[in-house]
Amino acid sequence: MKAQQLRPRAAWLTALLFATLVLSVAWLVQRADWVDGMPSLALLVVIGLSVWLLLDGLGLSGWKVHTAGLVFGALVVWVFALWLPGGSINSEFSYWASGLTNGEERGGEVVFGVFFLTLFWLLSFEGAWLTFKHGQPWPIIVVGGIVLAVSMVFLPASFRFHVIPFIVGSLFLLLHLSVLHRLQDWTSRMLRHGERTLLSHYGLAFGIGIVAAALVWLLPQMQAAPLKPAARLIQGPVERVERGFQRVFAGLPSRYRSPVLLWDDSTQFAGAQELTDTLLFTVEGESPQYWRARVYDSYSTTGWRSTFNTFVPWEPKDSLGELQSRINVVHTFRVNAATDTLFFGGEPLQFTLPAQALARPEAPVDVLQMRLSEDVLSYFRTRVNLKYAALSSVPVVSEQALEAAGTNYPEWVEDNYLSLPSALPRRVTNLARAVIQDARNPHDAAVAVRNFLLQYPYNLNIQAPPEGRDGVDYFLFDSQEGYCDYYASSMVVMLRSIGVPARYVVGYSPGTWNSTEKVYEVRELNYHSWAEV
């Protein structure tokens, strides 16, 4: 069989393998359903590949092909973007861009959708140029692999099978192009070759590919210790990229199921949550508490952040010194999930594992987060199957004592837990004043705000606040339904607006008592956030 007779078949096989590679990534993003009404990414990929084949068939020069591809691609992306939810494309992008300049965390469905529409047009059109013209699919494989890897971080384990068609398409495309390269070499050297020779080379190449894929799948995982220097080198950039994606794509419905528990320096108002009964950890001990993970002190219209982010080695304590009306309790934690956080109830005193604290040195009870020490974490960001005991100090205070507490707040409390952004809508403060008008003291005010917020229906299946809207204002006056993040944020903001210090805390509720094992079982559905006043 002559080389000239192979070209049509080779081109079709190249197109099939290339499409398999790109469509496998598009299928995952489409199935993730992050954006309601997301246009068909598969159709976009097919259009991109078809346009390139058409332009290439016209015999245009390289720069003309790229120029036409960019113009046509911009038109296609714009048309597809018209089906995305939200406001106009220009207004959505203007709001997002303004957030980049002033440091606010913004991002939404339109930005997310246009980002992927543009990405898949470039993957299909420019990827076809690299693959067909230059036999270089590696840039497309690398970019597609990155998209898969980053997406998997935010998706449940059931999505992992999408990796299979990507690996198969990538491997077979590389092998196919290798055979074509050898065929071109034979042709240039005027060597005769028959159909049987060609088929044997294809068979050998694909056989090697299948064996290689099987070995990768079956070989045991290597020990990670030799990778410690490399892991430390890339840890910072990887975490920055992860936080960047979380900021840009905030407000999208969560699809995350993997039991990995991490809390960064900021958190945003989000959309629908789908919490499962996955067991995260168990707690043995008396006096069940709300298990604290992270405290956030600074409110913005889009969520919360920590203004103090320096961890220091934790020095164990026996008590909280002069603070009264408190008792010490011991809880033993067995954590199934991967995490860097040491959970506790009340205020921490001692841990049986080396720990580091995010704590203000001038404040006796202002521990924002407890983590495993750097020595324990080593080159991993998280550890699994942790077992440790925590000694904590919890308050035992009567309601009468709380009512008589007064307003002589310590300086560190006023400095850190009263601030609000100037952009907070005035009607939030007016509402808070109306709610607490009969309160005689800060405790009464806190109870009044809590009781008022309990009138709002609880709902996990909600939309994130629209771009440009204050999250608390949107919850109080527009959606008027939500889950714990919205209740807790509203309570903290309303109390701060009337001069009562409060802070926003995330963690877990006490869990469910297992009478057989004598432990509290804390599951994903026990995720909670609350106000500490």
Same domain, 134 and 270: no
Residue 281, sorted as left (phi over 0), alpha (psi -120 to 50) or beta, turns out to be beta
Nearest to 257 by CA among 163, 383, 155: 155
- Domain extent, residue 321, equals 266-532
Element (H, E) at 387: strand 386-395
Same domain, 399 and 273: yes
Residue 305 within a domain: yes
Residue 142 within a domain: yes
Q: Please report the pLDDT score of residue 123 as a whole number.
A: 92
The tokens describing 96, both together, are: 């997002």
**pLDDT tens digit string along 104-156?**
544 556 777 888 899 999 999 998 888 888 888 889 899 988 888 877 766 66
Same domain, 330 and 477: yes
If one counts every other C-beta atom within 10 angstroms of the C-beta of residue 225, the result is: 9
Of 243 and 493, the one with more pLDDT? 493
Same domain, 288 and 148: no
Residue 433 within a domain: yes
What one-character DSSP code corresponds to residue 463? P
**pLDDT tens digit string along 13-62?**
888 888 888 999 999 888 887 777 788 999 999 999 999 888 888 877 77
Q: 2 pLDDT exceeds 50? A: no
Residue 233 within a domain: no
Buried b / exposed e over 180-207, threshold 16 CB at 10 Å, is beebeeeeeeeeeeeeeebeebeeebee
Q: Please report the pLDDT score of residue 59 as a whole number.
A: 76
Max mean pLDDT among 41-55, 308-322, 362-376, 495-509 falls in 495-509
Residue 219 within a domain: no
User: Picking from 65-74, 247-256, 344-353, which range would have the lowest pLDDT averaged per residue?
Assistant: 247-256
Nearest to 392 by CA among 358, 323, 335, 346: 346
The label of the residue with tokens 């998209």 reads 147
Q: Please report the pLDDT score of residue 223 as a whole number.
A: 45
The tokens describing 130, both together, are: 């690299």
Residue 254 within a domain: no
Q: What letter represents residue 350's amino acid? A: Q
Q: Please report the pLDDT score of residue 222 as a whole number.
A: 45
CB burial of residue 430 (10 Å; 0-12, 13-18, 19+): exposed
Residue 438, sorted as left (phi over 0), alpha (psi -120 to 50) or beta, turns out to be alpha
Total of domains in the chain: 2
Q: What angle do helix axes 228-248 and 109-128 make, rounded to 10 degrees? A: 120
Of 377 and 70, the one with more pLDDT? 70
What one-character DSSP code corresponds to residue 130? I
Give the ranges where 331-483 is alpha helix by DSSP (H).
374-377, 399-403, 411-416, 426-435, 442-453, 471-474
How far from each other are the two terminal CA atoms of the chain, in whole angstroms?
82
Residue 170 within a domain: no
In the listed set 137, 163, 189, which residue is the last one of a domain according to the structure?
Answer: 163
In the listed set 133, 163, 193, which residue is the last one of a domain according to the structure?
Answer: 163
Residue 464, sorted as left (phi over 0), alpha (psi -120 to 50) or beta, turns out to be beta
If one counts every other C-beta atom within 10 angstroms of the C-beta of residue 177, the result is: 20
User: Picking from 9-18, 196-205, 373-382, 410-419, which range would have the lowest pLDDT averaged per residue?
Assistant: 196-205
Of all residues in the chain, the percent with pLDDT exceeding 90 is 44
Answering whether pTM is above 0.95, one says no
**pLDDT tens digit string along 451-464?**
999 999 999 999 99
Report, as an integer, the average pLDDT of 276-305.
94
Q: Please report the pLDDT score of residue 156 as a whole number.
A: 64
Q: Please report the pLDDT score of residue 23 as a whole number.
A: 92
Same domain, 336 and 464: yes
Q: Please report the pLDDT score of residue 258 as a whole number.
A: 47
What strands lie across the sheet with 298-300, from one edge to the other?
266-268, 303-305, 298-300
Residue 399 within a domain: yes
In the listed set 114, 138, 163, which residue is the last one of a domain according to the structure?
Answer: 163
